[in-house]
Amino acid sequence: MSQKLKSEFLAAFTTFSSVAYVLILIPELLSLTGIPFATALTASALSAAIATLLMGIIGRKPLALGPGLGLNAAFVFGMVLGEGLSWQATLGSAFISGLILLFLSIIGLRAKLIEAIPLPLKKGIAGG
């Protein structure tokens, strides 16, 4: 095995090791809402695998992608447990908002909306 291939495997193992906790923590959080753990685990693993593959193939960047803890915590504790909404309705609204953002991106309006947000607010949103 060449040195370059060994380095690539080591990098992949290191990256996976640094984000592997998400495969347990996210489904555990989601199961608090009534979503079956196995279903949440499958969805988390598939979404991370597909997003990471697309980042490598299309984006040509060696980055691992997956579900984020911040948004999942907001979903679980803010919307479902906090506001009493059903997890089905909350995920449905997230799907619809994703479709709206996709449409806004296709027509070029999303970029214009982002440009209209003041820089301090952008930094605050990015920081969580």
**Domain extents for the chain?**
1-85, 86-128
Mean pLDDT of 41-49: 94
Backbone angles phi, psi at 117, to 5 degrees: -80, 130
Distances in whole angstroms, Cα of residue 90 to Cα of each of 1, 51, 52 = 48, 22, 25
Is the pLDDT reported for residue 38 higher than 80? yes
Is the pLDDT reported for residue 7 higher than 90? no
pLDDT of the residue at 81:
95
Per residue in 64-99, pLDDT (tens digit) is 888 888 889 999 999 999 999 999 999 999 999 999
- Please report, for the chain, how many H helices and E strands are present, in that order: 7, 0
How far is residue 32's CA from residue 37's CA, in Å, rounded to a whole number? 9
